Chain A
Amino acid sequence: MYLRWRKDRMTMTIRDLDDSLNDYKRDQILFNGEKIREIFQEARKIKEAQQDFQRECQEMEKQREEGRNQTDRGNSESPEIEELQEEGKKKKNETELWARKYAPQGYADLLSDDAVNRNSITWMRLWDECVFKRRHTVQAIESRLNDRERMTFSMENRFGNRARRPHFKILLLTGPAGSGKTTLAGAIARLCGYATVELNASDSRNAPDFEKAIDGALRNQYTIDNGNKPNCLILDEIDGAPADAIKFLAKTIQGTGKKAIKRPIIAICNSLFTTSLRELRPLCLVLNVNAMRRERLVERLQKIAQIENVNIDTFSLEKLVELTECDVRSSLNTLQLLGNSNQGKRITAKQVEQAAESSVQNANKSLFEAFSMVLEFSRHLDNKGHLFSMKQRLQRIERVAIDQVATTQNYSLMKYMIVFYAKLHMIVATHAKTHFQIPQSDFQMLQKSKACTEVLSTLRGSRHAGLSALPLLFDVYPYLVQIVQPAMRATNETLYTKKEKDQIEHTIQVMIDYSLTFVPTTIDNDTKFVFQPPIDQVVQYPVTSSESSGTDLPNAARQMIAKKIELIKLGSSFSAISVDDSEDVPERSETPGGSSRMKQIEEQERNKNCSRTEAPVPETSGTIGQVHYRYNQGFSNAVKKPVRMMDLLN
């Protein structure tokens, strides 16, 4: 798959290069035509070489299938090397990928980290009780573990006499490409006596496919052609599977009773933190297969080189391992390519570098690396530390530009992309190291403006706000925030003068009209009352000049206002006002604010009630006083006194 994709891309870029060549010839844009054509022709040669290599790889893969039956498994025991060399010579013309040919057979051959190997095999053995009905192995394992490990490798609780299964039903191996995850999975499954059933990206993987695979492999006792071995399901490249399939998987492994899965599942992924894996992650035993130790890989490569009769020294091998970033697969592939093309001649470090660069490096360069290729001279130094000639530099940049940076979809313009990067390099390349950061501010702006739009749309839910948004935002809200925060003395509620009370009344009315209120919010262990919806965050800017010196309402006043708004909203504003006034009797006569407010509300209520009828009910604001309440119970006539409703409310 990968090879084919790579090849397609290659041909596309070459076609583009041709196009751009013609265009340049016509346009003579940046450099003189001769020179640029020279550059591009050379670049094309490199591309073609690369393409040939890819094709070769593909052929190898095709022949791999046929070759599998004939080849002997290479074993790395030293006494046999002589013998194997003979064999290697015999089969000189046969091609099988070495990565496949020298795949580890036993536990001792595994290149990955010992701890990971041990842990995974321990987990595998935990299934013995369920699969092979061997209780003693599990007990043996449990006795060996320390406390922390016991947590990881715990078993299910025992129900009656049923065989227990491990707590984690799935082993999830993660790690970079070529670190031996698939190999490890296969090896431990075989070691523990299972037959492997593999499901990878080349199979279709919808939820039904998963179901079929799980049903077939795990629930059935034995499949016919695997002899007496139980199955172990290996889900390769699971991070590429569709989310619903993974959801299904997560659901399945949680099944109990008859639906419980009875065989181990090993899942393999490159990046653990793919979104689709979110549900699966807590259900798995996650083992991190890191890139392997360099010395270990070099040692193995040396052995293979010896067997395959490739003439290469340790230094070059180290270089190769470094360039491939300890990727076993790609280092073996490169070694094979070099061995085939050199036919017994000595392979130099330089050749290694070329081969590795063409096959590996471009493929996994990040955007940042691509840009530093353009912007730093240090990326363009030869062995002796001299800067390459301009031609060579442009060549390399062109490769980067096509491979990595050109991600827009406007293909007709793509041929000009290279010119931009070439020019960028010519103008700004430096010796210093460049640090790249993806700019955050735009994203932050987007987030913030989303929040602001949300606030504004909430505000518009109020009836008085009207419909056109812009005048509100430009004129009304900036002032509104200040109007509802009048200058007030910080004093007890009861000590306000009439005018101040009116002002508070007014503030409350305005805030209700525009559906604003204050809510308590804890900021730094301190409870503050803030606007809800947070209108101040939308309309108040960090202006430095003294011109807009809007006073902030003190917290206590905000709390009071919030309380009153709440009461009015609950419709129990009457009691609130009566409580306010009952404290200080002398002031009672001069507080018509409360009663007038009540009348207003009463009126509003009435309007609401009669809104269905066509003509409004005639003005009857005085009716409240006509309801009489007579206290008619009790032991003594002394307390019997006609009380008007008005007095109770006031």
Chain B
Amino acid sequence: MALWVDKYRPREIGKLDYNNDLTEVLKSIVAREDFPHLLVYGPSGAGKKTRINCILKELYGSGVERTTLVTKTFTTPSNRKLDLQTVNSNYHIELAPGDVGNYDRIVVQDVIKEMAQFSQIDSEKQKPFKVVVLHEVDTLTRDAQHALRRTMEKYSRTCRLILSCESLSRVIDPLRSRCMAVRVSAPPTEEIESILERVVKKEKYDVTPKLLMEISEKSYGNLRRALLMTETLAAREQKLKEGMTIVEPDWELYLRETAGMILKTQNNETLLKVRERLYEVLSRCIPSNIIFSTLIRELLPACRPEAKVEVIHLAAEYQHRLCKGSKAIFHLEAFVAAFMELYCRIHKT
């Protein structure tokens, strides 16, 4: 528990910092005898996982923190072996079935069935059900989501689900209606500031409030990132003062540079260079839809108002094609080329 993010993560429901209304709701849910399926959603770094862990602790006590990392092996109907890492305790199991791609349906079914077949050992003292935590449900295929909806009802006596995802839009309606949806919204800037201040004080660093304000603004409501940013700065200098450049992740900087290149010159050579850079980003496992949105975020402010609609339209179209196709580089490069053409047309006349 050495990174500040891990070290100062609240572990009990009472110690949660912000979203106090939500905390009250969670408390009341846990206090009741009957625990519903939960669907926790909200932006990255808002504290979904922290809250899930708090709920689990509240349900089962500290025993839930004794986890082991287990690699489970599944066999597909076509006899392929799949490996998936899960976090197990006596009371719950955590997994991110999106990792196994198209075979997630089998994983979901197998795991839940396995969990549900054994009821709680000591059902008198404990809650009569176990919990399956599924991360990144929005990356699940349709098949897997439909498989979930049946199993959720069938095994609801012995097994409850906590689903977590960033956006509800890719979760099918039947799942949403079976769960109690809990939105964890990102903390406001002031809230981030006060949390940062507390942490920094505990770590005995000097800090000016202005720097904290800058950090919390640059983190866009992502508390995880804000804490990491602060710690990175602390690793560099003994004293935290204003005027320090706030570190951003390399991949974002790299894409920003790429966007700068696109805006500077629009010709074949630039396109080739951009292709190289896109390959670079793709090869380091950054998903293509993230590349799209980051590029758009950097490109849009430089466009004239009348071009903006068209640019967004272009991006939407190429991203749609990307979803249908399989080679991301084609569509990314096609978008860049189309953008260059549009930019030339509108800005040079």
Contact = CB atoms under 8 A, between A and B. Distances in A.
Do A and B come from the same complex? yes
Interface string B238-255: 100000010111110110
Contact of B135 (A449, A468, A539): A468
A475 B85 contact: no
A288 B254 CA distance: 52
Contacts of B113: none
A133 B23 CA distance: 97
B63 A479 contact: no
Interface stretch (B14-22, B227-235, B335-343): B227-235
A545 B260 CA distance: 11
A487 interface: yes
B136 to A, nearest CB: 5
Contacts of B257: 543-545
Given A449-B282, A513-B6, A487 B250 contact: no
Interface string A461-482: 1011011111101111011101
Interface string B44-76: 110001000000000000110011010000000
Given A467-B85, A470-B136, A487 B236 contact: yes
Contacts of B95: 467
A503 interface: yes
Contacts of B249: 474-475, 478-479, 539
Interface stretch (B148-156, B169-177, B284-292): B284-292
Given A461-B69, A543-B250, A467 B96 contact: yes
B81 to A, nearest CB: 15
Interface residues of B, number: 56
Interface stretch (A4-12, A102-110, A356-364, A440-448): A440-448
Interface in A506-523: 506, 509-510, 512-514
B334 interface: no
Most chain B CB neighbours (cut-off 10 Å) among A514, A545, A548: A548
Given A463-B69, A479-B249, A513-B3, A541 B254 contact: yes
A647 interface: no
A263 to B, nearest CB: 43
A479 B228 contact: yes
Interface in B242-277: 245, 247-251, 253-254, 257, 275-276
B247 A550 contact: yes
A542 B254 CA distance: 8
B224 interface: yes
Contacts of B282: 445, 449
Contact of B2 (A452, A485, A513): A513
Nearest to B222: A475
Contacts, number: 148
Given A448-B283, A503-B235, A547 B94 contact: no
B280 interface: yes
A506 B231 CA distance: 11
Given A482-B247, A543-B250, A449 B44 contact: no
19 contacts: A444-B279, A449-B283, A452-B284, A466-B49, A466-B87, A467-B87, A468-B135, A469-B99, A471-B45, A471-B224, A476-B3, A478-B250, A479-B249, A482-B247, A483-B231, A541-B250, A542-B280, A549-B245, A551-B236
Interface of A: 441-442, 444-446, 448-449, 452-453, 456, 460-461, 463-464, 466-471, 473-476, 478-480, 482-487, 499, 503, 506, 509-510, 512-514, 538-545, 547-551, 611, 614, 616
Given A448-B283, A467-B95, A476-B5, 18 more contacts: A456-B285, A463-B69, A464-B3, A467-B85, A468-B96, A470-B136, A474-B251, A475-B44, A479-B229, A479-B232, A483-B228, A510-B2, A514-B3, A538-B284, A541-B250, A541-B280, A543-B250, A547-B253
